[in-house]
Structure 1
């Protein structure tokens, strides 16, 4: 039932459809792509749908995981892959998870130390350096099963660098990346903005690749929660998705991103210089290999495609994180809550794609559409398959 007092008639906020819980604690990490959460609160999209978001900044993705699982957080801005790792019991406690929607596509990058600039200009020259020296270079990613790890590994391997043998890989929380590069503790990293732009603005690092060059319009952050929360609070979960969809749509207007850059610069959110944030937040998409970030794109950036989650699992299998072959589609179908997303999208006028799968061409020319994940996972020359 629609609330007749709602400023937008038709939005579901009352009666039997009212959110079971109205105040939601939502975790986030200090990254530019937390912008939909910030915009939802600043613009009142949450209250429009009968909920109030309490944004809770977290120091790391491990903290997001732990606080989701112990109930301190109701839901979170999370790496694509964080919920999958928990669902599969990789590197921590197993718990059934729910991914309600994607928040954005792209908008991340791979940064190298400025000390490498005289000798490295692209992936091929980095590969020559790695092969030609006895020194073992150190690269950082942000969470073992997250998108940054999988995209960094894919990029390195595409140039013949085995990410688990030829280089050392460490895990560092996003806000600490630039500091570690500055101190010389890592030679490069893959992370979300603005921590690539910050290193470059300080003259301590340079962006060698945008992750959208690895996989155009790749999935990035999501709204994640436990399955228990989604099942016990389906109306609240739907209201949260509705608020986020409105915020994502609002952010795809360039002038609105200018305002978002101001908000994100606050120490309560990202706490980086406003111009550094804006330099990548306002970067326009180009030629299908967009370095820029997509928050909405007529809903394409938000749909929880099963094939996206299945790709993550093929990479876990490729790198030996999964000892046995999972039922790729079945696992993705349980985690990605297409049902909740469709219900929310219908309420706020967001178009839906014709299929739960999508097709992409990655940097090495390989096509991915989810049709044969077993063959795809086993098709790479550089791997560490187990079992």
Structure 2
């Protein structure tokens, strides 16, 4: 088990490659990379960072694989999908660190949100139990008179997994009861406004924008699905770590410094202003700041704030968290059952690289004996056995 204190490490060696191209998609949780660039945190670690905005997660994947990007802000599940050859040539990948936790949401069209409110009121007044057969969501979807259409951002990505899990927890089969489409985050609100979608799962500020434009309402947060879930990661190809190990550690140190800065007083408002610039998200800073706060929502205690550092608790790439995505790939029929999920996760998640970088920054490494309870009461943690986990669910492929 990892101790809850930082390891010791020798003085860092000079990076082999000093100019790094980092990809990102226009989302609020790209904040660590934007802060690292604009505050030039890389200089102290021998790095110059070049940020390269990408139009979609598919573009991030393709440019990582081609070598056009050295590393990227990307979806946790995307990295694992590439490792297995899902939708792209199988390539050995590396997760260097977790960039953030929480901070995503599920937004419904106004029509469906209204129907859900009425269905929930009807269920409450009838005294029916909230089982899957009398789920208000199922009743609301039935009012559409057709198969609902929901969007996520990438087939193996986090949003697809959160959306599927949330639907299934309420008795809705995401493979049979709805049609799913993948849409890049910046295009989500337009698709909702054009009535092409009944719901979506995406990162901020796009849920906030949908509400501000009056085309949808946020009805659930992904922290309700998995409290303190890992979301975006800093990822690269494995051969980058093998060829440039000192650059990889320097990059982790740089981004850890940015994550720590984001926890400083007033820095969330400052990063919202920077993210609003045309080179980054290019929308009103108020929409970004509205859901980038670091305080708990007292009205909904399962809506947890987006976390970037929290004294290092956010950033350690726990292998058991990566293995969870493999169980969901199995659950939804994307892969056949395997018995080596823990081994795959241990190869992808660069825990030793992270430990050495964190030690040189005096950042604590959290314990690994962590267990979380998900929205349906299932528990997942370091001691969970992934081999049979996917088969525990009534709704699955």
For normalisation by structure 1, the TM-score amounts to 0.93
Q: Does 1:90 align with 2:69?
A: no
Residues 1:348 and 1:290: Cα distance change in structure 2 (over 3 Å):
farther
Where in structure 1 are there 5+ consecutive unaligned residues? Answer: 1-9
Q: Secondary structure at the match of 1:53?
A: strand
Conservation of the 8 A alpha-carbon contact between 1:303 and 1:352:
yes
CA contact (8 A) 1:12 1:49 kept: no
Equivalences for residues 275-354 of structure 1 within 5 A: 275-282=286-293, 284-286=295-297, 289-354=302-367
1:3 aligns to what? none
User: Deviations along 1:77-99, whole A, 9 cap, x unmatched?
Assistant: 00011110000111221000000
Equivalent in the alignment of 2:40: 44
Partner SS, residue 217 of structure 1: coil
Match of 1:270 in 2: 281
**Aligned pair partner of 2:109 in 109, 113, 125:** 113
Q: Does 1:164 align with 2:175?
A: yes
| Aligned-residue offset at 1:326 | 4.3
- Which residue in 2 is equivalent to 1:358? 370
Shift in Å, 1:376:
1.5
How many angstroms does 1:285 deviate by?
2.7
Please give the secondary structure, in 1, of the residue aligned with 2:150.
strand
Give the distance between the partners of 2:297 and 2:392, measured in 1 at CA: 30
1:102–1:302 CA contact under 8 A, matched in 2 = yes
1:83-162 aligned at under 5 Å gives the runs: 83-121=79-117, 124-131=135-142, 134-162=145-173
SS at match of 1:364: coil
* Structure 2: stretches of 5+ with no match in the other structure: 1-8, 121-129
**Would the aligned equivalents of 1:305 and 1:358 in 2 still touch at CA under 8 Å?**
no
The aligned counterpart of 2:239 is 228
Provide the alpha-carbon RMSD of the alignment.
1.6
Kindly state the Cα deviation for residue 114 of structure 1 after the two structures are TM-superposed. 1.5
C-alpha separation between the residues in 1 aligned to 2:294 and 2:364?
A: 25
1:153-195 deviation line (CA, Å, top 9, x unaligned): 0000000000011000000001100110011111110000000
Shift of 1:286: 4.5
Would you say the 8 A contact 1:130–1:166 is kept in 2?
no
How far 1:354 sits from its partner (Å)? 2.9
TM-score (norm: length of structure 2): 0.90
Is the CA contact 1:217–1:290 (under 8 Å) kept in the aligned structure 2?
Answer: no
The CA deviation string for residues 294-353 of structure 1, in whole angstroms up to 9 with x for no partner, is 001111110100111011111001000112314011000000000100000001111012
Aligned partners of 1:167 and 1:66: how far apart in 2?
Answer: 28
> After superposition, what is the alpha-carbon deviation per residue over 1:6-52, rounded to whole angstroms, capped at 9, x for unaligned?
xxxx9956xxx100000000000000000000111122211111101
- Quick one: higher RCO (CA 8 Å, sep 6+), 1 or 2? 2
Separation (CA, whole Å) in 1 of partners of 2:43 and 2:394: 51
Structure 1 position 241 matched with structure 2 position 259:
no
- Determine if contact 2:95/2:234 at 8 Å carries over to the other structure: yes
Looking at structure 1, the residues matched to 396 and 57 of structure 2 have their Cα atoms a distance apart, in angstroms, of 25
CA gap 1:254/1:160 in 2 versus in 1, 3 angstroms: farther
Q: Which moved more, 1:234-243 or 1:109-118?
A: 109-118
| Alignment match of 2:271 (pick from 243, 252, 260) | 260
Q: What do the CA deviations read for 1:213-258 (whole angstroms, capped 9, x no partner)? A: 1100000000000001111001000000001111111111240111
Pair 1:380 & 2:363 matched: no
Once the two structures are TM-superposed, the CA of residue 137 in structure 1 deviates from its matched residue by 0.7
* Among 213, 227, 230, the residue aligned to 1:216: 227
CA positional deviation for 1:375? 2.2
Distance 1:313 1:45 in 2: 34
Supply the distance in 2 between the matched residues of 1:296 and 1:11 (Cα, whole angstroms).
Answer: 23
CA contact (8 A) 2:294 2:307 kept: no
Paired residues of 2:337 and 2:387 also in contact (CA < 8 A) = no
